Amino acid sequence: MERLALPATLLTVALGVLIMAQFIAIPLSSGEARENLATALTPTESFVPEDEGADGLAGIEQLDARSGLVDYNALDWQIIGLMEDPQMVGLAVAVVENGETVFARGYGETLVDTGEPVTIDTVFRWASLSKGVAATMVAMLAGDGAIDMNAPLSRYVPSMRLPGAAQLQATVRDMLSHRLGIERHGHDMRLERDEDPYVLRGALAGYPYACPPGTCHRYQNVGFDGASELVEGVTGQSYEAATRERLLAPLGMTSVTMSRRGLWESASWARSHNRSREEVPVVLPYYRIPAAGGVNGSIRDMARWIEAQLGEAPDVLPRAILATVQTPVVRTEREDRRNRRYAGRIGNTYYALGWRVYDYAGHRVIAHRGAVRGYRAMIMFDPVRRSGVAILSNSDSGRPFTIPMAVFDQLYGLPEADWIEGSGAPGGAATPGPAIPGGPPMIEGRRRPGDIHSSESGR
């Protein structure tokens, strides 16, 4: 019996091993595997699948391109703190370094108190950041030889009428740099009363005169949107279709639309809110001038747009096109005053074609702000450093405009100024900026009803 005990024991062990092997070989579902793996990792080792990534970030955040100059953990926490501001609802932020997107995040909600998160694919209104898209599209047509940037507007924008028949002298370049010779924001209020923008461009003939065309800067929306009429006349397509075919689709900017319906039909879209965090209707009028304020898109596509403007898509946007739209054209002293809270950083401002150009502590950056009721947007990039920042938000707060400042201060090695948390100025002394209305008018920076036109020089 003792001689039989050992073989029996060995047989039992062998069977046990075979049975256990079968259990070990049973594959876990992907969810079970991740859950089991996550329990074995510390919080700093959290599992991120290569093919997915947190918030769909795989393939967009190129961590190897980070310069090491920006503390992204601190930036993330600062933005989280910013979102505690009672005026904030949702926000998306992207940072590009060395020509690649290195940081992209969504914060808050698409609609207050719903828990629906903002992601990098949530669509916002870009407001006046639309102007850079329009100017680039027109410059591409000029690069094809289809138009002449120095030709009179009367050749391409038949609806345009200016005081003294100046449409016969004002050029396409003048239109894209806000040098039409009339006072600021020509007929914006009538646009907001749902009047036809083509009719309003004709009515600019009776708008207050500021200077001879081409000699001073006065910001326009209705006048600037002559760009959409130009594109449609030259291409025979709608402005949206032509821009998508020639510019947006080749860049992979698939979320971009140019209508309120397009916004509403996006899989994830940010609702508009006032400063009391109350949802307000998405206003229609500025969709009727798409070149000036009609673009919708995600922060993912905004990051692609920065990369393209930095020269990372030369097959679509050759450097000659970028030089055309980014070269300073006209001084903008009024913009210097708007940026007085950033004294010591931003100064000597110009307007190019659809873009602003700033001296940022000795560095040349390209930038633009955008605002339409319930949304704020900003883009800033340095073509030499191949770096940039963009923000999109769905409230009337201007505080997110400080985020690019915080990033560029670090990129340039400038002293800490606590832009995001304190909205301060270098040295900790905040300089009060101009009040930004949360109600009418629909866009920021325009005179409010009853105000008198400013006659200061924009040269």
294 pLDDT higher than 70: yes
Instruction: List the chain domain ranges.
Output: 63-428
User: What's residue 435's pLDDT?
Assistant: 32
User: What's residue 335's pLDDT?
Assistant: 94
9 pLDDT higher than 70: no
Please state which CATH class domain 63-428 belongs to.
alpha beta
Closest by alpha carbon to 410, among 382, 441, 442, 452? 382
Q: Which residue has the higher pLDDT, 438 or 199?
A: 199
Kindly report the average pLDDT of the chain as a whole number. Answer: 84
Q: How confident is the model at residue 340 (pLDDT cuts 50, 70, 90)?
A: confident
Is residue 423 within 8 Å of residue 436, measured between CB atoms?
A: no
Q: Which residue has the higher pLDDT, 134 or 7?
A: 134
Amino acid at 390: A
333 pLDDT higher than 90: yes
What values do phi and psi take at 170, rounded to 5?
A: -65, 140
Q: How far apart are CA 330 and CA 355, in angstroms?
A: 11
Q: Which residue has the higher pLDDT, 380 or 42?
A: 380
Q: How far apart are CA 300 and CA 256, in angstroms?
A: 10
The tens digit of pLDDT for each residue in 115-165 reads: 999 999 999 999 999 999 999 999 999 999 999 999 999 999 999 999 999
430 pLDDT higher than 50: no
User: What's residue 342's pLDDT?
Assistant: 86
User: What's residue 61's pLDDT?
Assistant: 85
Q: How far apart are CA 138 and CA 176, in angstroms?
A: 9
Element (H, E) at 123: strand 123-125
Of 44-53, 314-323, 335-344, which has the strongest mean pLDDT?
314-323
Q: How far apart are CA 251 and CA 257, in angstroms?
A: 14
Q: Which residue has the higher pLDDT, 379 or 53?
A: 379
User: What's residue 348's pLDDT?
Assistant: 94
User: What's residue 59's pLDDT?
Assistant: 61
> 377-381, long-range: CB within 8 Å, 24+ apart, which pairs?
377/124, 377/125, 377/126, 377/127, 377/128, 377/129, 378/129, 378/403, 378/404, 379/129, 379/132, 379/302, 379/305, 379/306, 379/404, 380/404, 380/408, 381/96, 381/306, 381/309, 381/310
Percent of the chain with pLDDT over 90: 75
Is residue 130 within 8 Å of residue 292, measured between CB atoms?
A: yes
362 pLDDT higher than 50: yes
345 pLDDT higher than 90: yes
Angle, nearest 10°, between helix axes 319-326 and 130-143? 130
Q: Tell me the CB-side half-sphere exposure of residue 14, using CA atoms within 13 A.
A: 6
The tens digit of pLDDT for each residue in 250-270 reads: 999 999 999 999 999 999 999
User: What's residue 57's pLDDT?
Assistant: 58
Percent of the chain with pLDDT over 70: 79
Q: Give the mean model confidence (pLDDT) for residues 443-458.
A: 33
The tens digit of pLDDT for each residue in 57-111 reads: 546 888 888 989 999 999 999 999 999 999 999 999 999 999 999 999 999 999 9
Q: How confident is the model at residue 34 (pLDDT cuts 50, 70, 90)?
A: very low
User: What's residue 60's pLDDT?
Assistant: 82
